[in-house]
Structure 1
Amino acid sequence: MPVNAVVFSPDGSIIASGSDDKTIRLWDVDTRQPLGEPLRSHKSSVLAVAFSPDGSRIVSGSFSGTIRIWDAGNGQLLGAPLLGHDLAVTAVIFSPEGSQIISGSADATIRLWETETGQPLGDPLRNCGGPVRAVAFSPDGSHVVSGSDNNIHLWEADTGRPLGEPLRGHENWVTAVAFSPDGSRIISSSGDETIRLWEADTGQPSGNPLRGHEGCVSAVAFSPDGSRIISGSADYTIRLWKADTGQPLGEPLRGHEGWVNAVAFSPDGSRIVSGSGDRTIRIWEADTGRLLGEPLQGHEGAVNAIAFSPDGTRIVSGSNDNTIRLWQGVTGRPLGEPLSGHESFVHAVAFSPDGSRIASGSRDKTVRLWDADTGQMLGESLRGHAGEVKAVAFSPDGLRIASVSLDETIRIWEANNGQLSGEPLGSHQSLVLSVTPPSDASRTVFSSSDRTLQIRDADSGQFYFYLLLIA
């Protein structure tokens, strides 16, 4: 039966998975052995699972609309089912300090629950206008923002009390919502070709819509210091905006000849990297929008994956031309020759936490490890998957690599020697498509439309290594 969700515990020692077989399973990462019996109680498919920030509890949501809390140490149920949703629970997550649980459902409501008792906190957060597509906690965990159809909703996390009326203004679907790094503002992008800024405290619009794009705004992000906004669009352009006024900063960044699929700031906020369907990568000066050098050309197929190294000095990209390329993070100068070895499309690339290694996953069913400094392959290909590898990620300590494949298995490898660590986790017979560590330093965000989940500790800043799966 398909696996709908799988996640590492905060310390990386346990994996929890939820499946259409109505069970949750716990696994010991080091030994690959199941921990006790499957957690049984749900009467229908388990669609979402999450660990509490301290790793002591697990919350799960099911197709039948029920939520359950479990003791992660012994697998025992904690209290009665959390009942209230009328349709499938598509997303669950703990608040940053672990005292509350938030759930999103196909019944177009968001609910808040007290973790210790499982009691609902106030009335459901209603009037979303449709299934909840995206939810984000503010950095301090006090507020929740959600996007649904054309509307955005702001809520008080402690009580579930709506903060004002829905944030109305978009005339098409909301593609993304996010808090600014300091939690004072919300940004949203939409298929209506606009970006909107909102005051997080009041839900009031902050200025007029940011207009200029002539196509769906597909990507939007705050700079690390919150002073600027970057957006990418189907109109092939990237735009920079002043976050406090919404005024455009210079002219649109033109150069791509295809839909801009992704944009990202470098860790220090000085540069922007963009990837496009035109097979190129471009680096821009964030302060001026000036293109830094020529397009990063070399790939002969679509660029499927791109990432900055942890220190921002390098960029790695993977492509349908079967190669991986390294680029200097400031100038875009190619670093050495293409990393060749894969025999088909490269779907995923990831830097190790210390930036010394790169892991890649390919349609050729293999995972490969590379020396990030020399571009040399480290050891032999990691073979074991019977289907194309769709995603790879390092554990926070860099000692393990997780890979997921269309062969319906999850595999964990020793990063130092490339050895498979035990048998594949495949008891649920799932179609697994993605795996990633969380990317946000201050908030917890999840989307109910694809049942993905990302968590990072708001106090310590420690990454929690999570697998994000779509079954």
Structure 2
Amino acid sequence: MRLRPLVAKPAGSLLAVRPDGSLLADENRAVHLPSGRPMELGPDPDDGIAALAFTVDGSRLAAGDRTRRVTLWGCDLSDRVDILRDAFPGAPAGSPEEIGSVALSPEDRTFVVGGDEGMLQRWDLGTRRPLGGPLSTPGEAITFLALALDGQTLYASGTHVPVRRYGLDAAHALRRVCVRAGGEGLTQTTWRTYLPDATYGRCAKSASHPPAPVVQAPEHCETS
């Protein structure tokens, strides 16, 4: 088999491939596959890209940079769709935390950002608001993230962090928070902070929560 280079000079060490195999993205451009025809990845980022990830249907690409900003590109990757200015609002003042990984949920409702100092934050893609506080980690760099197809289970790991599994459904979060609260009732404010997807109630009762979202059929992305 004869191999040929698709990118003469990659912009860095990061690569992301659209799930349908039609595009390959690096830190500032994309390449059509299998032709190898290049295209600019929207406006050049002002700061170094540290993480890249496509959605399962390939309709979005997320890029996290070293200033803790997450940029989202749309289907054709020619224009920025949105920019999240600070992926870790819960980080201590003066924290050097930088983005180390990013993952978007298959149902296109949430995304998760991991930091090089151990921060792990889940976000609502529609409102651009954090979903609860930072998830618990060993405090080491999180360099790999993956979300299950139902968007309710997160896997995270790093060079010094064994693979950790997080249940993201509201019932699981309710049990975890209530255990930490010693079974005591939570105020509505605290409830909204840590259990934004669950109906307010008592720890002794199981909270209702929306059914797992159905993954919609992939939208068609023009790649020619």
Q: Do both share a fold (TM > 0.5)?
A: yes
1:346-373 superposed Cα distances (whole Å, 9 cap, x missing partner): xxxxxxxxxxxxxxxxxxxxxxxxxxxx
Matches within 5 A, 1:38-187: 38-40=41-43, 42-85=45-88, 87-132=97-142, 134-138=144-148, 140-147=150-157, 149=160, 154-157=165-168, 161=173, 164=176
Q: Structure 2 CA distance, aligned partners of 1:152 and 1:162? A: 23
CA gap 1:123/1:139 in 2 versus in 1, 3 angstroms: same
Report the residue type matching 1:60 in the other structure.
A
Greater share of strand residues, 1 or 2?
A: 1
Report the residue type matching 2:67 in the other structure.
S
Aligned partner of residue 150 in structure 2, secondary structure: coil
State the shift of 1:155 in Å.
Answer: 3.3
Q: Structure 2 CA distance, aligned partners of 1:120 and 1:150? A: 23
Matches within 5 A, 1:191-206: none
Report the residue type matching 1:26 in the other structure.
A
Identity of aligned pairs, percent? Answer: 21
CA gap 1:28/1:150 in 2 versus in 1, 3 angstroms: closer
Q: Quick check: 1:4 aligned with 2:13?
A: yes
Q: How many matched pairs?
A: 162
- Specify which structure has the bigger relative contact order, considering alpha-carbon pairs within 8 angstroms and separated by 6 or more residues: 2
Structure 1 length-normalised TM:
0.30
Matches within 5 A, 1:232-311: none
2:36 aligned to 32, 36, 58, which one?
32
Q: Structure 2 CA distance, aligned partners of 1:46 and 1:146? A: 20
Q: Structure 1 CA distance, aligned partners of 2:18 and 2:162? A: 33
Q: Would the aligned equivalents of 1:101 and 1:113 in 2 still touch at CA under 8 Å?
A: yes
State the shift of 1:103 in Å.
Answer: 1.4
Q: Would the aligned equivalents of 1:45 and 1:62 in 2 still touch at CA under 8 Å?
A: yes
State the shift of 1:78 in Å.
Answer: 1.4
Report the residue type matching 2:70 in the other structure.
I
Q: Structure 2 CA distance, aligned partners of 1:102 and 1:47? A: 14
Q: Structure 1 CA distance, aligned partners of 2:144 and 2:77? A: 32
State the shift of 1:40 in Å.
Answer: 2.8
Q: Would the aligned equivalents of 1:132 and 1:146 in 2 still touch at CA under 8 Å?
A: yes
State the shift of 1:102 in Å.
Answer: 1.4
Whose radius of gyration is greater, 1 or 2? 1
Aligned partner of residue 164 in structure 1, secondary structure: helix
CA gap 1:34/1:118 in 2 versus in 1, 3 angstroms: farther
Q: Structure 2 CA distance, aligned partners of 1:30 and 1:133? A: 28
Q: Structure 2 CA distance, aligned partners of 1:46 and 1:150? A: 22
Q: Structure 1 CA distance, aligned partners of 2:127 and 2:62? A: 13
CA gap 1:58/1:138 in 2 versus in 1, 3 angstroms: closer
Structure 2 length-normalised TM:
0.58
- Give 1:444's aligned residue: none
Note the residue ranges of structure 1 that are not aligned, 5 or more in a row: 19-23, 166-457, 461-471
- Give 1:318's aligned residue: none
Q: Quick check: 1:14 aligned with 2:15?
A: no
CA gap 1:70/1:161 in 2 versus in 1, 3 angstroms: farther
> In terms of mean alpha carbon deviation, does 57-66 or 75-84 score higher?
75-84
Q: Structure 2 CA distance, aligned partners of 1:74 and 1:127? A: 33
Deviating beyond 6 angstroms after TM superposition, the runs of 4 or more aligned structure 1 residues are: none
CA gap 1:136/1:69 in 2 versus in 1, 3 angstroms: closer
State the shift of 1:50 in Å.
Answer: 1.3
Q: Structure 2 CA distance, aligned partners of 1:161 and 1:82? A: 26
> In terms of mean alpha carbon deviation, does 134-143 or 122-131 score higher?
134-143
State the shift of 1:120 in Å.
Answer: 2.2
Q: Structure 2 CA distance, aligned partners of 1:162 and 1:44? A: 38
Q: Structure 2 CA distance, aligned partners of 1:54 and 1:150? A: 29
Report the aligned-residue RMSD: 3.3
Aligned partner of residue 38 in structure 2, secondary structure: coil
Q: Structure 1 CA distance, aligned partners of 2:143 and 2:31? A: 30
Q: Would the aligned equivalents of 1:66 and 1:83 in 2 still touch at CA under 8 Å?
A: yes
Note the residue ranges of structure 2 that are not aligned, 5 or more in a row: 1-9, 89-95, 178-213, 217-224
Q: Would the aligned equivalents of 1:89 and 1:105 in 2 still touch at CA under 8 Å?
A: yes
- Give 1:466's aligned residue: none
Aligned partner of residue 104 in structure 1, secondary structure: strand
